[in-house]
Amino acid sequence: MGTPDIGPRQNFIRSVSRPNSQINLSLSCLHIAAESDPRLDVPRYMGKISEISERIRHESKSSRSLYDTLYVLNDLLFDDLGFRGNAGNYYDIRNSLINEVIDRKLGIPITLSVLYMDIGRRIGINLNGVNMSGHFLLAAGTDETLVFVDPFRKGRLYSRWECLRLLGAPSNPPHDSSKLDRLERTYLPRADSKMILARVLNNMKMIHTNSRDFEGAIADAERIQHLMPWNWRNVGDIAHLMGRSGRARDAYDMLSRMVQMMPPHEDVKLQLDSLEMLKPLAEIDAIVDPEKIHEIPFFRI
């Protein structure tokens, strides 16, 4: 007998249950997309990324420096192939699904960065995610060759100080290089693979919540929990979303779990009072009117 197929969620869990350095971001993002569309042909889209990468590898093989290679990558990916940031409809959920990004050639900073990183890796460029406040960038090179890349703006290149200026730093860089290093660590922190995937899913969670697709938002939050099992605030989000869906029993269980995970210095009075009020609804063990749950303090947030 053949091995039975496993679902997209199990594929996602398997893809992220390994050290950060071994996680394939594009593949993990495709498993996220496949949960919305189980017919999604994941190997086909991985093949499309390989095709794009091979074309860029061929064009860049004579490049002599990191900058030359980045310019070739940018010319082909953004000018020739037409990939671009979707500034006009930023919160379209399709911008967060990597297969849609490949098909429509439209994305947001995080998904365009995932694609850019994968292509860069395949052509020999090591790129790291940068959790810049309000935006997402990539870093390439080290020391004197360090440069920041913005895939949302057609691969625009920034120096370290230009990035800090965008965040409101003074007009002139400090003479003390150690101070500049500290500013970089504070305002341009690197993001590992699990942090990048969590950022993709957080965007999706926000979009699904705003469109009142609470089950979609719950699925996003549950996958975040696989990436960050210590994230008690995300557990609270799951409880809140389950409450908005009328799932009183599940909301009660998740809120109880949140209380158990919260650090000692956090005030749990709101959660404990809400659990007491939620308990009678939870004991019904059925979908209840979400408005009844909304009357409970924790679920008014």
In the chain, the amino acid numbered 203 is N
Q: Same structural domain for residues 225 and 154?
A: no
- Residue 30 scores a pLDDT above 60: yes
The domain boundary, picked from 169, 191, 213, lies at 191
pLDDT at 109: 97
pLDDT at 142: 86
pLDDT at 1: 42
pLDDT at 172: 60
Q: Same structural domain for residues 148 and 227?
A: no
| Residue 55 covered by a domain | yes
| Residue 117 covered by a domain | yes
| Residue 220 covered by a domain | yes
The domain boundary, picked from 164, 191, 218, lies at 191
| Residue 2 covered by a domain | no
Domain count, the chain: 2
Q: Same structural domain for residues 44 and 160?
A: yes
- Backbone phi and psi for residue 156, each to the nearest 5 degrees, phi listed first: -55, 140
Confidence band, pLDDT 50/70/90 cuts, at residue 5: low
Instruction: Report the CATH number at residue 224.
Output: 1.25.40
Instruction: Report the CATH number at residue 104.
Output: 3.10.620
Average pLDDT rounded to a whole number, residues 20-46: 96
Average pLDDT rounded to a whole number, residues 133-147: 90
pLDDT at 123: 93
pLDDT at 2: 43
Confidence band, pLDDT 50/70/90 cuts, at residue 169: low
Q: Same structural domain for residues 169 and 277?
A: no
| Residue 244 covered by a domain | yes
pLDDT at 3: 44
pLDDT in tens, 81-107: 999 999 999 999 999 999 999 999 999
CA torsion sign for 181, 187, 193, 194 is positive
Q: Which range of residues forms the domain containing residue 110?
A: 8-191
Least confident of 26-30, 89-93, 183-187: 183-187
pLDDT in tens, 142-153: 888 899 999 999
Q: Same structural domain for residues 217 and 183?
A: no
Q: Same structural domain for residues 99 and 214?
A: no
d(CA 138, CA 131): 9
Q: Same structural domain for residues 206 and 154?
A: no
Q: Same structural domain for residues 204 and 261?
A: yes
Q: Same structural domain for residues 186 and 211?
A: no
Confidence band, pLDDT 50/70/90 cuts, at residue 61: confident
pLDDT at 187: 86
| Residue 3 covered by a domain | no
Transcribe the chain into DSSP letters.
-PPPP--HHHHHHHHHSS-GGG--HHHHHHHHHHHH-TT--HHHHHHHHHHHHHHHHHHHTT--SHHHHHHHHHIIIIIIS--EE--TTTT-GGGG-HHHHHHH-EE-HHHHHHHHHHHHHHTT--EEEE--TTS-EEEES-GGG-EEEEGGGTTEEE-HHHHHHHTT--SS--S-HHHHHHHHHHHS-EE-HHHHHHHHHHHHHHHHHHTT-HHHHHHHHHHHHHH-TT-HHHHHHHHHHHHHTTBHHHHHHHHHHHHHHS-TTS--HHHHHHHHHHHHHHHH-SB--HHHHHTSGGGG-
Q: Same structural domain for residues 139 and 205?
A: no
Q: Same structural domain for residues 222 and 111?
A: no
Number of residues in the chain: 301
d(CA 225, CA 36): 18
The domain boundary, picked from 159, 191, 223, lies at 191
Strand partners, 127: 140
Query: Percent of the chain scored above 90 by pLDDT?
Result: 81
- Distance, C-alpha 259 to centroid of its chain: 26
Q: Same structural domain for residues 59 and 183?
A: yes
pLDDT at 170: 57
d(CA 138, CA 110): 10
pLDDT at 181: 78
How much is the mean pLDDT over the chain? 92
Average pLDDT rounded to a whole number, residues 294-300: 94
pLDDT in tens, 244-272: 999 999 999 999 999 999 999 999 999 99
